[in-house]
Structure 1
């Protein structure tokens, strides 16, 4: 077993994907400032730390359970850090037992901070946190293994979009706002698109072990169409939100990022069966989520 450093433990959590939890927390906080003029740095930091530790723990536990079902063990697609998990178990950096206990250690920290926020800010956060933690754990953990039932994509969109934005807004305001719900939907669609396009390179490994995600269920060719729906949905919601004044007018600037989505879609249709060539599409999808999220945050902080 290789010697472990702080960097080892950090990289095992796949921190390159933490933007998908940080950005919705920032958005929910920005909407609270925009709507009611409230901002607590302490509550924001607690929300951010709880969110990051929760995401980190779920990532590590997902590596453990994907080792148990052997989908990562037989996956030889050379696209790390995008697909196939951290591969720390497969490379002998962490043992399966170390991975399992580390995942629960991270989740425990998130739960403790979450309970503190529930005690300080109110009971609704308990239900938001419970749904997030339980669905995140059951995403890959048997006997539920939602990612093998065609439900994993929906749960990722729910957790890293709606629940996170609404939760961050509630922490600041102790209320739930319609604008927060509408603003969260594009992030739900785009974070689902990130997970979804990453399932294409893993197709054969997932299919072989019975990991029946949506790409496996639909088949690669038909699955390309759903990716178009996810990208289109996100931008349509932004336009509708502005029309009905749920989102600031400047939110429309996010449409300037649409070419990233178009290039990702085009690349996917051409290279859906060529994993190395999909790297560009995967990167474009991640950038699309980041840029759109950033513009929405700025639109709420600096409305016109």
Structure 2
């Protein structure tokens, strides 16, 4: 008896959609926003802006995100949690080893860009920060840690894409650290973690089968929807507080223009949190919220 793979038997149009979902173009905003925010805050605080450093850092960050996405597919294939995920790169190619080595080559290219920045400046601080961030990213799904399976992914995401990424991009511009930037980076850390949080709602069944204790598995979908409301509200509350304390310029109140997207996200999750087929696109609404709120904060810093 011959067993056919439904993915390989799919028509070209379906395959192209699966590949687009596997590449996840919208997800690369999680690299764009913290690097842009750290750079914009450095310009706001010091008046320093180096375009070459910014662009090199941005491309390197995108490469590192690609490495994370590809290796997550590889490590998830090891546990079997992605058995029903047709847009997994491993499932699409059928070659886990190839995907793993391509991911590592992309990582080396990304680290090469960071090395170049440090070589220009003869200061290796940013490289060490990025290596630490990569290690944290690896612990999310990589063996023997697999901390994401213990429900710690959002915490890792918060620190990696919040304080660590923003401190790195700020330092790459100024060769110094800023206490204010570390505090304010919590806004970006929260909005990034919201994306990962929303990605769990539709896959409770697969998570339970693989022994993954995601926050939604632990909390349930209804409580998870309430936690989401608090998390989204924190983005606006903290942005407003930091504006009134003078740590952010008044122009950063532009972030409130993203509220319609925030409302759309909250409303969608509250309505469909228990329906996997309808809730699965919530992470893309979360991406829109993260990107729009982050860009508006960056614009507020630049316009100030």
Partner of residue 255, structure 2:
254
Alpha-carbon deviation of 1:18?
0.6
Distance 1:281 1:268 in 2: 7
Is the counterpart of residue 31 in structure 1 residue 41 in structure 2?
yes
Q: Which runs of 5+ in 1 are unaligned?
A: 76-83
Partner of residue 223, structure 2:
222
Change in CA separation of 1:94 and 1:183 when aligned onto 2, cut-off 3 Å = farther
Q: Following superposition of structure 1 onto structure 2, how do residues 1-304 of structure 1 map, counting pairs within 5 Å?
A: 13-73=23-83, 75=84, 84=85, 86-91=87-92, 93-121=93-121, 122-279=123-280, 281-303=282-304
Alpha-carbon deviation of 1:300?
0.8
Tell me the SS of whatever aligns to 1:245: coil
Alpha-carbon deviation of 1:137?
1.4
Alpha-carbon deviation of 1:225?
2.1
Distance 2:134 2:23 in 1: 16
Alpha-carbon deviation of 1:54?
0.6
CA-to-aligned-CA distance 1:7-58 (integer Å, 9 cap, x gap)? 9999754332111111211111111222211111211122112101111001
Alpha-carbon deviation of 1:128?
1.4
Scaled by the length of structure 2, the TM-score of the pair is 0.88
Partner of residue 79, structure 1:
none
Q: Name which of structure 1's ranges 290-299 and 179-188 shifts more when overlaid on structure 2.
A: 179-188
* Contact 2:18–2:87, Cα closer than 8 Å, also in 1: no
* Contact 1:264–1:281, Cα closer than 8 Å, also in 2: yes
Greater share of helix: 2
Change in CA separation of 1:16 and 1:287 when aligned onto 2, cut-off 3 Å = closer
Scaled by the length of structure 1, the TM-score of the pair is 0.88
Q: Which runs of 5+ in 2 are unaligned?
A: 1-6
Change in CA separation of 1:51 and 1:10 when aligned onto 2, cut-off 3 Å = farther
Tell me the SS of whatever aligns to 1:72: coil
CA-to-aligned-CA distance 1:102-154 (integer Å, 9 cap, x gap)? 11111111222223333444233133112211011121011100101121111
Partner of residue 80, structure 1:
none
The Cα RMSD (Å) is 2.3
Change in CA separation of 1:175 and 1:21 when aligned onto 2, cut-off 3 Å = same
Alpha-carbon deviation of 1:292?
0.8
Distance 2:180 2:303 in 1: 15
Distance 1:10 1:221 in 2: 31
* Contact 1:19–1:290, Cα closer than 8 Å, also in 2: yes
Alpha-carbon deviation of 1:258?
2.0
Tell me the SS of whatever aligns to 1:139: helix
Change in CA separation of 1:16 and 1:253 when aligned onto 2, cut-off 3 Å = closer
Aligned residue pairs total: 290
Alpha-carbon deviation of 1:267?
1.8
Distance 1:243 1:127 in 2: 34
